[in-house]
Amino acid sequence: MKPVERSSDIGASFTLHGAGVSGGIAIGYAHLVSTARLEVAHYEIAPRDVEAELQRFDAAVAKVRSELEGLQSSGLASALTEMKAILNLHAMLLNDSNLSVVPRDLIRSRRCNAEWALVQQMDYLTSQFEEMEDPYLRERKQDIVQVVERMLRAMLGTGHAPARTLPEEDVIVIAHDLSPADMILFKQHQYAGFVTDLGGVTSHSAIVARSLNIPAIVGLHHARSLVSEGELLIADGREGVLIVNPGAQVLEEYRERSRELEAERRKLRSLRTARSATLDGTLVELQANIELPQDVEEVMEVGAAGIGLFRSEFLFLNRDDLPSEDEQFEAYRAVADAMHGMPVTIRTLDLGADKSVNGADRAGPNPALGLRAIRFCLAEPQMFLTQLRAILRASHHGRVRLLIPMLAHAHEVEQALAAVRHARETLDDQKIPYDRGIEIGGMIEVPAAALSLNYFVRRLDFLSIGTNDLIQYTLAIDRTDDTVAHLYDPLHPAVLQLVAQTIRAAIRARTPVAVCGEMAGDLAMTRLLLGFGLRQFSMHPAQLLTIKQQVLRTRIDEVQPLAGRIGRAHDPAKARALLARLNS
């Protein structure tokens, strides 16, 4: 547990420590948001308004009831197996007095607004579920959250919250936890920063936070309960430090540091058009990771050589239906068009684990090891076919490549390739054009794949190493769980051996290989990966120019011997010391 330094005075300065997930310094005022996906205003209502507030709550219950009924008889329920059962469960939860009656009592007794009453009750119920021994029942807390989210959405715009006057750029969002779906919603805002109590640095929430390119800190443990709405904050995303109510001198120091960081960022921009090569002239391809088509703008701004990873599943979050083939095609084509012939690597759906379609959670009791990514797609062939057709159609409009996540078994490779063949046949039948030479690659992110690479290099056109999951699965730590975040170690000898060995085997087989996990954007790892032989990196656009600067300062023949020693080191302390030397 991280230390909490606090004096007893309200308004006194104190500091919280967590893990910084994205750089920079934010200075702004605290805005507390609920654990649910929507921001929840909390305010006191006047006694004469209680009846109206109860009616507002009842109207939301009725609206969600009819929404669920509509979904139960819709195409989505039949498109996704088990969906119907989930919708039935949600309808049952909605009708339970815990959700439809107890919040009414809270509105009456505590005179809190309907959203706030509902979220208090949700927090209570989910904490009860968390304590359950049975993992299946424990997981049902997600269903409660999903039903509450629906109810909150139904109340949206019907309340009378006092208007918030602060511009978003002056606001630092504080939440207990934020899901990747929550995070993606924040792309539409211009907040100064984010901090959360939970979360690991390579969780998908942290990854999206990083892509927002604003300071963010996770794993603060107590921020949500110790910080009050409107308090002045400094969030240092490099050090993972949150300073609450800073004194004038501290504030001035951080303002100065923030100005320096901005000046550095401006300087880096001049590298945008520089040739991406090491001092000895070795070309290094620096590509970008994106979640949504709109991210392409930033990709172009930093002069990336293509999209190395388009996490397509983000198109599926925060909605009640599945995007149609045409809608997906338009999204993929927009990216292909905008990249003007540069490679666009679209990863097929990596749903499951910490990302799920609204109300269609099939993650099971242990989501990271459950029906995720290619496993989920093979279990939902219709959904997979729709996506494959959309990607293939987009390949007619640019250099689109197809990337399959989480492969572990030879039969998964074969089934995925067969699914692509089938999608091609259906397009051929309809005389719909697509790139007949489209490359199909696989992510190497399960140790089993890294250890049986010969098969993968034979069957696939390219590989992309997903270090986030490779580390998670090699070290058996849930990347979303901050209680084991300290065990998440990219320098663990087993991890380094798997990464080095995968790069080596791919080079030997002349199969192009990239790293697209967070390791690719980690400045401390650039020289090591170059020394291992890596020549393709894919990362957040915000990291690209920093990594380019490091590439430009590196000589391959100088880093190779040390990188080799680090890759063979059995002692992590020794690996760390050698890495420090490599980077000095």
90 tagged catalytic: no
Spatial CA neighbour of 229 closest among 174, 289, 295: 174
Give exposure, 228-254, as e/b (b: 16+ Cβ within 10 Å).
eeebbbbbbbeebbbbbbbeeeeeeeb
Binding mask 193-222 for ligand PEP (x = CB under 6 A): --------------x---------------
Taking CB under 6 A as the binding criterion, the range among 2-10, 181-189, 423-431, 466-474 that sits at the site for ligand PEP is 466-474
Rounded Cα–Cα distance for residues 243 and 251 (Å): 9
Choosing from 176, 204, 397, 540, the catalytic residue is: 204
Does residue 151 sit in helix, strand or coil? helix
Helix axes 467-475, 493-508, angle to 10 degrees: 130
For Mg ion, the binding residue among 67, 354, 445, 478 (CB under 5 A) is: 445
Q: Is 469 in the site for ligand PEP (CB under 6 A)?
A: yes
CB of 523 to Mg ion, least distance (A): 21
Residue 303 or residue 517: which is nearer to ligand PEP going by CB? 517
Rounded Cα–Cα distance for residues 53 and 160 (Å): 10
CB of 388 to ligand PEP, least distance (A): 19
Taking CB under 5 A as the binding criterion, the range among 70-78, 150-158, 196-204, 437-445 that sits at the site for Mg ion is 437-445
Spatial CA neighbour of 150 closest among 94, 217, 80, 77: 94
Spatial CA neighbour of 403 closest among 344, 477, 471, 474: 344
Residue 57 or residue 462: which is nearer to ligand PEP going by CB? 462
**Which residues, numbered 287-316, are part of the site for ligand PEP (CB under 6 A)?**
309, 311
Per partner kind, with CB cut-offs from 5 to 8 A, the member of Mg ion, ligand PEP, none near residue 467 is ligand PEP
Q: Is 263 left (phi over 0), alpha (psi -120 to 50) or beta?
A: alpha
Q: Is 466 in the site for Mg ion (CB under 5 A)?
A: yes
176 tagged catalytic: no
Residue 372 or residue 393: which is nearer to Mg ion going by CB? 372
For ligand PEP, the binding residue among 306, 308, 352, 466 (CB under 6 A) is: 466
Query: For residue 226, how many other CB atoms are within 10 A of its CB?
Result: 17
The number of residues in the chain equals: 584
Q: Max alpha carbon distance in the chain (Å)?
A: 78
CB of 7 to ligand PEP, least distance (A): 40
Strand order in the sheet with 171-175: 4-5, 14-17, 241-244, 232-236, 25-32, 171-175, 193-196, 216-218, 19-22
**Which residues, numbered 393-452, are part of the site for ligand PEP (CB under 6 A)?**
445
| Residue 158 · residue 332 · CB < 8 Å | no
Q: Is 350 in the site for ligand PEP (CB under 6 A)?
A: yes
- Amino acid identity of residue 435, one-letter, is D
Residue 114 or residue 309: which is nearer to ligand PEP going by CB? 309
Q: Is 313 in the site for Mg ion (CB under 5 A)?
A: no
Residue 191 or residue 473: which is nearer to Mg ion going by CB? 473
Taking CB under 5 A as the binding criterion, the range among 122-130, 285-293, 386-394, 460-468 that sits at the site for Mg ion is 460-468
CB of 405 to Mg ion, least distance (A): 6
| Residue 331 · residue 397 · CB < 8 Å | no
Residue 103 or residue 367: which is nearer to ligand PEP going by CB? 367
Query: Binding residues for Mg ion, per CB under 5 A?
Result: 445, 466, 469
Query: Binding residues for ligand PEP, per CB under 6 A?
Result: 207, 309, 311, 350, 445, 466-469, 516-517
Residues annotated as catalytic are: 204, 516
